[in-house]
Structures are given as C-alpha cells and as structure tokens.
Structure 1
Amino acid sequence: MAIAISSCNKQLDQQPVSSLATSNFYSDNNDFLQAVNGVYSQLKTYPDQMMWLDEMRSDNINAISDGLRDWDGINDFYPTIASTAFLSTAWNNNFNGIYNANTVLNALSTKSSVIGSSALATRYTAECRFLRAFYYFQLVRLFGKVPLISTPLTAGQVSTVPRNAVADVYTLIISDLQYAATNLPTSYTGSNIGRATSYAADGLLGLVYLTRSGPTYGVDGPGLASNEYDKALALFNTVINSGQYSFISSYPSIFSYANEDNPEVLFDVQYATSLNGGSFPSDLVPVAYWTSLGISNTYGNGYGASSFTVSNNLKNSYTTNTVSGTDTRYAFNIATTYTLGPFIQKYINVAKKGTSGTDWPINFIVLRYTDILLMKAECILNGASGSQADVDTIVNQVRARAGVGSLANVNLTTLMEERRREFVGEGLRWNDLVREGMAVTTMNAWIASDGLGNIDTVIPDYVIYPVPSTQLQTQPGLYTQNAGYN
C-alpha cells in the first residue's frame, strides 16, 4: 500500500523518505528535528499533484495530447484511469507522509525526554499532527474513503486495513488541526520560517469545515453536507483578526522570487535553492516553449508536442467580466503571445531556472490571505453570519488590486469566477467547483460551449478519483473501486 517503496519513472513519482523508525535513532533533539523535517519532505510532491490532478481536471485547461499520455484520462474524464501513475504516486506520497508523521509521533510519545524541552517536544508533536491532517485531507479530496492509520504499521499490517468512512477520516483531521492550532507558534524566524503555524492550522481547519459542508453528490467524496459554515467563518476571522497577514497591493509581488514568505503567505511548500527546486512552474508549459527560447537543457513537462492550452472559457472570464479597466492578473498569469496557444506562466522567471525544468527555486503557496478573505465571503453566501456588504467589500478589494471595477450583489457564481481568475495555476479550481456543488454543471457547460469533443460527459461519480489499481491488487477484495470507474 502507501508504505510500499517501489516506484516508476513517472511525473509524480518521488522516492519516499527513509523510515526513521529505528529504535536507537532518537537519541537527542537533532535526531527529532531531522525526523520532523522528514515529515515535511513529502510536501515536495504536493504542488505537482495540484497541477496534474486539480488544475488539469478543471475548466482552466484544455490539454491536447500528442499521443497516449498519463494525463489524458484525467483531462478527458475517462472511467479507465485507475492505472494512471499520477494517481498511484499521489496515493503513495501522501501515505508516505502519514507514515513518517506516525513514526515520529510514536517516538515522541516514548522518547521525547531526550529533546530537553517539553515545549519543543509539544511543537514537534503539533507539526506532525498538522502534516498528518494535511496529507489525509488531500487524500479525502482525491479519493474519498481511505484507510485510517494513526500508528506506524508494517506493510503486512497495513494490508489488512480497509478504507474508512470519510466522516471518520475527518474526525482525525479535525482533531489533529485543533491540536496544532492550540500548540503551534504564531510565527517563526530564521531557518524555521516555512514551518506550520497556529494560523496555518486555523486556516486549513476552516477549509476542512468549508469542504465538509459541501454537497455529497451521492458519492463517498469530501462533501458531507454538514452545514459548518459558521465554524469555518470563525476560523477565517481568527486569521484575519490576528494582524499577522495583510493584503499585498501588487498581485505579481505575491509570487516574486525575491519576495517569498511575504505577508500573504499562511503556508507554503519551501524550495530553498536552485539545487533543490520544484517542477511545478513548468508542469503545464509546452516543451516547445523552451525550445523557442533556445533552452535545450530544460526538461519541462516531458510530453513532447503536447499542449496545455488555457481554455477559451477562462480567457473570456478575464476579458469580459470587467466593469472597467484591464485585469492585470491576466497578463501575469497567462502567456498569450505563444504560437501554440496560451498557457499558465505564473511561476516562470527564466533567469531563475536551475539545472532543468524540474528545478525552480520558488516556493509554492498552499494557503494565502486572499484565499482566507474569499472563503470568508463564501461562508457568508452559504448562510454564515455576515452581510452582502461584507461579501461585496471583500470581492471588490480583490478586484481593485487587479485593476477592474467593483461589483454589487456578488453571488456564489460570481464569487467562484473571481476565485478562478485570482487563483489560476494554484490548483484550487477543481476543489472549488466540487465544494460548491458546481463541478458537474459547470464542467459540462464548458465542454459544450467550447466544443470539446475529446472530453467525456462529467458525472457525479467523477468528483473523486478511482482507487489506484495498484492498491486494489495488493490485497484483492480489501477495497472496492469507487463508483463510475472500471
């Protein structure tokens, strides 16, 4: 299962972090620090998951393959994608993160005295529980029901654990995030910047409640129709009222290589140097773009002549939904002059490229202040405390930064389109649509309006992915496949 360490040479494959379960490993604080860092290390795969399994899945991208590619079925909503490497590696990488978290938590419960500081031991515990919740939340959004494992198990033991109900997995996620919010520091300095904070836990927990509140679609997916919008709103207000974060006046500066960990950032995946960079900036960029720049040593996305064209629907959203002015996010987010079609250029600064197209020294922002603000507006529109004026004020603050005119009486449809323009390339669109019950209707309307015959009709079953076939084969009969998939 997730702890299996075999891998193949596919886009999302990463070698799992070595097990730190050896009983004599934890002899001092430095050993525990290394172990906690090992739990963070699985985050390096998260941005790629969001590009290929969220952005690609949404109406932001109309990808055209030059052959049979792993992502074809993701983009085109095929029911036969259970063997796709993107899915098996996402499953494995998140469970590897959970295994590492459980291993360190187990060691903390028995050997934390060697750390020499009860406060530091508590912080390490809170960091591991935050990360375990993070990985489990990603699994629930991708696959729905998953095995619930809160202690380090052997591969043999894991092979007997069935998939648990989504509600049960959420119970662990919420408990972990509540503990993290109570016990993590509000901020860090120096080399500790980038670690989870109490406000990151608050923000993520708010998103969990918001997601749980979404519709079920009649499947075992992330939505439970729990109507917890007031709980989510309270957590978002905690972040907003903290004074720890602020709304940056320049949209491009949020993503500047020279302005990382700025006041917009609640939590991000850190890529420290060009020797340990990320691949996500070039995941959805055509290889021919690099060739056109005379760059031959850039791996890019490795998909030959495939294109990852930004949809006409998204382009129209930028250009037609303006009261006045030009949306400055459009030119920053989308490369529009490339001959093979526009693509997402949000994170690309060619001068900063490392040794290859998988080596970009830019952090990936997981949760930022503007997202907190817009999710607050989303809660209010779903019935939480607040007024229409509160919603309009938030949305118009975002629009003013983009240089476009203000709106009145913003509704959920308008809000989701504003989120789409704001967060393109950040891997939020698909989850946004699922959360608000818009995935099926919005996607099918887009397929029809853009005349996309290559994409199958979207059905409710497709709000989650299939269980990877590798997992079904590990212990035949232990799992059943998600409805709608072969």
Structure 2
Amino acid sequence: MKKKHLLITTAILLGLSVFSCKKQINPAEDTVIKTAAAGSTSYLKSIVLGTYTKLQGLTGNNAMLLTAEETGDGLIVPGRIGGDWADGGVWQQLWLHQYPASHGNISGAWDNAYSTIGAINITINLLQGIPSTPATVYSIAELKTLRDYFYYLLLTNYGNVPLITSSSTDASTVTNPAGSNVTVFNYLINELKADAPILSNKTPAQDGGQYGRLNKWGAYFLLAKLYLNQNVITGTTDNSGYIACSAYCDSIMTAGYSLSGNFLDNFSSNNTGSPENIWVIPYDHTYAGGLNIQMMTMHYNQAAKYGWGSTGGPWNGFCANADFYKKFDNADSRKKGWMAGIQYATDGVTPLTTRGSDSSLVLNYRPQVSSLYTATEYDGVRQQKWQLTPGSANQDADWALFRYSDVLLMKAECQMRLGNTAAALTYTAPVRLRAGVANFSSEAFNLDSLLAERGREFVWEGWRREDLIRFGHFGDPKQFKPAADADKHWALFPIPTEAHQKDPNLVQNPGYTW
C-alpha cells in the first residue's frame, strides 16, 4: 500500500468540503472563505488532486487506452471455445477494423474523456471564482494541462472533436465541423506553451509532492507528442513538427529523469521510485482500484494459485498472437513481460489445466491464436509486465502514462525522419542496452525497425494505434485480416452514435454512419 499517495484518492472529499453547499446566506462570510481557500495550498491541492482520480478509469478493458490498443497488432481478444468473449463480436470488430459508430467501447472512451473534461472545467471555474494568487494560478495551469491530455486522446483517436473549455457551455449544442482537428491542435499547443513554465520543474525524485501530477516536464512531453503527430493530426507534410518535438525532448533530457536499470521495475507493485516514470496513474489494490489487466489476461484456473478465488476472475481474454510475440528476441529482457508455456499450480510441479469446455487440457500458453471466434483457452501468450497482486482483482502497480524511454525513442524518430540516422542510433542505444540486446546497425536501421522497437518497449501502454498510424502501417494485413484496409477512415474512430443522440449538432467522421 502506497500510503503517501492516498491523498489523490481522497482529495475529492476534501475538495467538496471547501466548495459544496454554498448557499450564499452570508456573502461577507463567503468572501472570507474564498480568500482563505485561495491562500491555502492544502485546500487547492485537495481540489486539484481530486480531479486526477478520473484517470483511474483510463485503463479499463473498454476505456480509451486499451480500446486503442485493441485496434492495433499487439493486443487481440479472440472469442473462446464455449462462447466467452463473444459479446456480439465487439472485441473482434476492433481487431478487424469493422467498428460501427454504436460500438460500446468507442462510446465509453468518448464519454470518459468528456466527463473528465467537464469535471476539470467545473473545477477551473471554481478556482477562477476565488481571489487570484500564485497558488490559484498554478492550480489552474495544472488543471488545464490535465485537460489538454484528455483532448490529446480525443484528438488522436477521433480527429474532429468539439472543444469545450468552460463549464457554462451547453455540451448538447457544440459541434465539430471539418477542421476542428486543426483548431484543437493549435489550442493545445498554445495552452501548453503558456502553462508549462508555470508548473514545477522538479521531478518526483526531487519533490515527492509531484508524484502522480503533471509538472513542466509532463507538459513538455505532451507538446512533444503533439508535434510528433502533427502531420497526421493536421494533414501537413513538412518537418516542422519533428524539429519542435526534438527540441522538447532535449529539454526533458535535462530534467533529471533516467532509465530504470531493470525494465520491469517500471511496472512493479512498488514502482513509485522509478526514475523513468514521468507521469503515472497511482493505483492501490485497496484504496485506488481500477488496474486489473491480470484479470483480463490470465486463465480462470490460475485463480487458486494467486488467491483470486473470491474475485470472480480471471477472465481469460486479452493476449498477443504469434506475429507480435515473435518481435521479441529471446535475449530481450522485455520478453519476460509475457507469460508463455505450461502453467503450474502453487507447488510448481502440477500442471494447471483448461476447463471442461476445452477438454481439461494442460494449460500451455502458446503464441498461436487458432481462431478469432473459437480460440482454445490456451491460445495466445499473456501479459504479466504489470506485477500481479495475489488475492486481489486490482493491482498495486502505478500505470506509467509518460516514460523517459519514450522521450529517447521520440528523439530517435525525429532524427531518423530528419535524415540523421547516426544521431538517431545514439538514442535507441540506451533503450536497447537496457533490454539486453545489441543496438541496431546503421545498415539495418529504418523506420520499420524503429516501429517494431516501440512495439516491444510500450506494448499495451496505449501508444500502439497512434504509432502504427504515424508510421503508415495501421491498415496493414494481419492475422484474420488478410487484406489491407480499403481506405484510411478506420484510422479515426467514429463519433459515437450515443454522443450524437445527446448532441445532434455533431458531425460524423468520413466513412461512418450514425
């Protein structure tokens, strides 16, 4: 249990104690309360951190990060023998790029983002209603940066999205005409540039109070990501985005972050000390639940081994197929993040078996996925890089949204795209060294090998869809999808039908119908 971070999970209650039930019975007294709140770092911290709790919904199996991954090439959810994970084909639609505007995961991801943006807007409005102090200015800048992150997710996944920056805006009246993507992109760039210098330049190692919060370097990381994807987002074709991304990476490299000596330390149950994790979602199996990848991926009969009998899981769903798994060399330490081969009971000797619906065979995870709709219970290797938490459906590992290794690989990509191959290799080198594999040779190094490296380094962390699109491989053939996408409209999610029902002014993305 990470007690020092419990404020993040309880801060909403503290924030509500400041601002709830204001009936304006005594305006003079209310002014005193507002003035006191503006000057109280504890009040402001509770309000700001309370808003961060919305992040914990991002890692659900039908939320933004994993829904995006499910459309890529590294996370497949096949239906299993006996009907598990059939669910009307919704998981298979994501893999096949056949998702309609009514898809529940796509709608849920949209709703989570906009409900969070709405909560942030309300909180900003509250803070703007009290006297301005350096503390309130800082809090508003931090909240705007958090809002920018959610708009980044919307922008890269849905393209033309409505921009709502005030709690007084009626969300049922906004629209998203063609070109909204450029409007939102420019808005985020300008806002982040304005707010980043206000935020702390201390890493969590230098100031523990920054843990789980967006600081100056987190804002710079987000700017780097925006510029890296500028051509995809806005339709431009020049190198200005790569030049700007490279410069922000340079700035982050001066901050004091570094690679963890062991790759898996970034995902351990005690990863609060990782020098690599720039921004995380704090989780705790008791006080801050929500991370349960172990339940999504492990087999039902592993429950007894890990004390999960009372949790109702695991659910035997998420896995990788052979084509993605073979990207990992046996010498690559990142391969230890996968669970493959025969699985044993607690004694380490007795093999576990599948359930009766699959003839009680030995539970031997194999890379091969035999069918998209009736896969065996042991098809596909399973993900275990986030350390398992025995006895709980929730895990203790904090989810790293921004990692320093990504800064190095973004820098490498920019240099590669700018024609500086030798320079690019100096940034892939430490990432490859940490993984225990040799750096690329200049002759073998190209954009495809860099894309494969990003796949190994960030598997299931929420970046794969975006990376495949930027590298021009999102629509490629893959297992069970033998033909390339006929066009590029699948590179954007549809605007959800449910969102359109709430706001008929929304315009659908090309290629989709309501």
Alignment partner of 1:123: what SS? helix
How far does residue 369 in structure 1 lie from its aligned partner after superposition?
0.5
Inter-CA distance 224–87: structure 2 relative to 1 (3 Å threshold): farther
Inter-CA distance 460–22: structure 2 relative to 1 (3 Å threshold): farther
8 Å contact 2:285–2:396 — kept in the other structure?
Answer: yes
**Counterparts in 2 of 1:213-224, with a 5 A limit?**
213-214=231-232, 224=236
Letter in 1 for 2:494: P
Match of 2:321 in 1: 311
Inter-CA distance 430–475: structure 2 relative to 1 (3 Å threshold): closer
Letter in 2 for 1:397: P
1:279 is matched with which residue: 291, 294, 311? 291
TM-score by length of 2: 0.78
Deviations 1:352-377 (A, max 9, x none): x53xx2x2122100011100000001
Alignment partner of 1:146: what SS? coil
Percent identity between the aligned chains? 26
Separation in 1, partners of 2:295, 2:227: 30
Separation in 2, partners of 1:336, 1:466: 38
How far does residue 473 in structure 1 lie from its aligned partner after superposition?
1.3
Q: Does 1:482 align with 2:509?
A: yes
Inter-CA distance 224–333: structure 2 relative to 1 (3 Å threshold): farther
8 Å contact 1:223–1:435 — kept in the other structure?
Answer: no
Match of 1:462 in 2: 490
Q: Does 1:71 align with 2:82?
A: no
How far does residue 425 in structure 1 lie from its aligned partner after superposition?
2.2
Q: Does 1:399 align with 2:432?
A: yes
Separation in 2, partners of 1:399, 1:126: 36
Inter-CA distance 453–181: structure 2 relative to 1 (3 Å threshold): closer
Separation in 2, partners of 1:316, 1:420: 11
Separation in 1, partners of 2:221, 2:337: 26
Separation in 1, partners of 2:389, 2:47: 34
8 Å contact 1:105–1:128 — kept in the other structure?
Answer: yes
Letter in 1 for 2:216: S
Inter-CA distance 416–149: structure 2 relative to 1 (3 Å threshold): same
Separation in 2, partners of 1:98, 1:202: 20
Q: Does 1:53 align with 2:71?
A: no
8 Å contact 1:181–1:197 — kept in the other structure?
Answer: yes
Alignment partner of 1:268: what SS? strand
Alignment partner of 1:260: what SS? helix
Inter-CA distance 401–162: structure 2 relative to 1 (3 Å threshold): same
Match of 1:197 in 2: 215
**Counterparts in 2 of 1:213-292, with a 5 A limit?**
213-214=231-232, 224-225=236-237, 227=239, 228-242=241-255, 244-272=256-284, 274-282=286-294, 284-288=296-300, 290-291=302-303
Deviations 1:335-393 (A, max 9, x none): 44452131111113233x53xx2x21221000111000000011111117xx3222112
How far does residue 54 in structure 1 lie from its aligned partner after superposition?
2.1
How far does residue 241 in structure 1 lie from its aligned partner after superposition?
2.2
Q: Does 1:176 align with 2:177?
A: no
Q: CA RMSD in A?
A: 2.8
Separation in 1, partners of 2:341, 2:406: 26
Structure 2, unaligned runs of 5 or more = 1-11, 25-29, 344-363, 365-377
Match of 1:381 in 2: 416
**Counterparts in 2 of 1:343-354, with a 5 A limit?**
343-351=382-390, 353-354=391-392
TM-score by length of 1: 0.82
Structure 1, unaligned runs of 5 or more = 1-15, 215-220, 320-324
Match of 1:211 in 2: 229
Separation in 1, partners of 2:92, 2:122: 36
Match of 2:142 in 1: 127
How far does residue 326 in structure 1 lie from its aligned partner after superposition?
1.1
Separation in 1, partners of 2:461, 2:222: 16
Deviations 1:36-74 (A, max 9, x none): 223212111222335531221111123212322543322
Alignment partner of 1:147: what SS? coil
**Counterparts in 2 of 1:423-438, with a 5 A limit?**
423-438=458-473
Alignment partner of 1:168: what SS? helix
Letter in 2 for 1:131: L
Separation in 1, partners of 2:491, 2:500: 20
Alignment partner of 2:129: what SS? helix
Match of 2:27 in 1: none
Alignment partner of 2:318: what SS? strand
**Counterparts in 2 of 1:134-153, with a 5 A limit?**
134-153=149-168
How far does residue 86 in structure 1 lie from its aligned partner after superposition?
1.7
How far does residue 101 in structure 1 lie from its aligned partner after superposition?
1.9
Match of 1:7 in 2: none
Separation in 2, partners of 1:251, 1:87: 31
Letter in 2 for 1:268: V
Q: Does 1:295 align with 2:322?
A: no
Deviations 1:240-298 (A, max 9, x none): 123x1012221122222223241101111112453322324336414425346363223
How far does residue 90 in structure 1 lie from its aligned partner after superposition?
1.4
**Counterparts in 2 of 1:322-341, with a 5 A limit?**
326-338=331-343, 339=364, 340=378, 341=380
Separation in 1, partners of 2:422, 2:102: 48
Separation in 2, partners of 1:280, 1:376: 32
Inter-CA distance 309–361: structure 2 relative to 1 (3 Å threshold): closer
Separation in 2, partners of 1:263, 1:462: 37
Match of 1:473 in 2: 501
Separation in 2, partners of 1:105, 1:343: 41
Separation in 2, partners of 1:479, 1:249: 48
Inter-CA distance 22–133: structure 2 relative to 1 (3 Å threshold): farther
Inter-CA distance 176–39: structure 2 relative to 1 (3 Å threshold): farther
2:423 is matched with which residue: 386, 390, 395? 390
Separation in 2, partners of 1:120, 1:333: 45
Inter-CA distance 406–37: structure 2 relative to 1 (3 Å threshold): closer
Separation in 1, partners of 2:50, 2:408: 32
How far does residue 76 in structure 1 lie from its aligned partner after superposition?
2.5
Inter-CA distance 208–299: structure 2 relative to 1 (3 Å threshold): farther
8 Å contact 1:333–1:424 — kept in the other structure?
Answer: no
How far does residue 144 in structure 1 lie from its aligned partner after superposition?
1.0
How many residue pairs get matched? 435
8 Å contact 2:338–2:381 — kept in the other structure?
Answer: no
Match of 1:95 in 2: 114
Inter-CA distance 92–174: structure 2 relative to 1 (3 Å threshold): same
Separation in 1, partners of 2:190, 2:97: 34
